[in-house]
Amino acid sequence: MFRNRDNAKQKIIQSDKASELLENGWCKADLHVHTSCSYDVPKSKFTYPKNLLKKANLDGLDFVTFTDHDTVSAYDIMGWNIDKLIPGVELSITDMQNVGHTVHINAFEFDKSQYAEIELIVQKEKNIYDLIDYFKSNDIPHIYNHPFWFKPGEKPNIFAVTELAKHFPVIEYNMQDLHKKNLFSMMLAQRYRKGMAVTTDSHTGRIGRVYTVAKGDTFREYFRNIEKGRSYMMIDEPIWKHITQELNAWIELVFNMENGTSEETRYSTGVNTFDKIVSLVGKDRLGKHSLMNMTTLYLAQHISGSGLPVFLYMLSKQPQVSRINRIIKS
């Protein structure tokens, strides 16, 4: 089945095929999920680590990991030695000398002392190649997250992306990113013979809506099979639909979150229109005007459900997509 390594690691399957594999002993996991411990996740019972773990177990995920932004607070809350819960984190490293823009990396199966050393490299040294060397020398599984997503306001170095891809064992297929950008990621994975993993990157508790299927009695075996291309990516919905549903869920959580928005909270959907709505009519003010709250929520969900925000977002990124396409193909 896996003689053609490139074809195997690129395979996208639907849930019916995935079910057959799972019945035959394969495992599934969603390797990029955020909890309420991330700065940009609304505080809600749906996003608390404990409840997300319970949902993941009910949905039959064989391995569960929480990859919050530059924090392992979820594990400090839940504990570091829970069955099937794999320590994880999404690291943001800005290496201006070697890259020129911020890169996001998911790392897994480390302990607290190792995380302290990882933090030092990310925050003080800011050298991405030192970080990758640390992962390799300590046998820490890691993924190059959404290679063609770039932090707003930064000037992306596309050439650095193609070079970095050579140094990662697995490249992410991210359901929050544009379809074309994920195709570019697949091209890099094929070119450099890397594994691929599909993730929800959910900020709303929608863990496991997509997942990567591979064999493995342990997480380490599971991840190694992904590295080798012995895996499949289960995707039932097109990306535009996934983003729309995530956006709808995000809006509802923000308008019903348990704690009001503070000045320090930087909620972001990635779609400027809705970011402005949240900043202008935060929960603290809406709580005093329930009718305004309900009306604004209805309008926001109606606009989001139409698919217009996602379409406008895709349109705004077209020049960047064209530039990436030229560089990748060259």
* Reported confidence tier of residue 42, pLDDT bands at 50, 70, 90: confident
pLDDT in tens, 253-278: 877 765 444 434 454 544 454 455 44
Cβ 267 vs Cβ 42: under 8 Å: yes
* Exposure of 306 in the CB half-sphere (CA atoms within 13 A): 8
pLDDT in tens, 63-74: 999 999 999 999
Task: Check residues 251 and 180 and name the one with the higher pLDDT.
Answer: 180
CB < 8 Å & 24+ apart, contacts of 291-295:
293/255
Q: Report which residue type is found at 247.
A: L
Predicted confidence (pLDDT) at residue 4 exceeds the cutoff of 70? no
* Reported confidence tier of residue 38, pLDDT bands at 50, 70, 90: very high
Tokens (6 digits) for 143 = 């993924």
Tell me the average pLDDT across 185-202: 96
pLDDT in tens, 125-142: 999 999 999 999 999 999
Tokens (6 digits) for 38 = 């991330």
Cβ 69 vs Cβ 39: under 8 Å: yes
Predicted confidence (pLDDT) at residue 177 exceeds the cutoff of 50? yes
Which residues in the chain belong to E strands, given as ranges? 12-13, 27-30, 63-66, 85-94, 102-108, 142-144, 170-174, 195-199, 211-214, 231-234
Output the pLDDT for position 1. 43
* Reported confidence tier of residue 307, pLDDT bands at 50, 70, 90: confident
pTM of this structure? 0.87
5-237 is classed in which CATH architecture?
A: Alpha-Beta Barrel (3.20)
Output the pLDDT for position 289. 44
Output the pLDDT for position 27. 98
> Mean pLDDT of all residues in the chain?
87
Residue ranges, CATH 3.20.20.140, the chain: 5-237
Cβ 87 vs Cβ 108: under 8 Å: yes
Output the pLDDT for position 9. 44
Output the pLDDT for position 297. 60
pLDDT in tens, 73-127: 999 999 999 999 999 999 999 999 999 999 999 999 999 999 999 999 999 999 9
Output the pLDDT for position 5. 43
Predicted confidence (pLDDT) at residue 191 exceeds the cutoff of 90? yes
Predicted confidence (pLDDT) at residue 284 exceeds the cutoff of 70? no
Task: Check residues 67 and 288 and name the one with the higher pLDDT.
Answer: 67
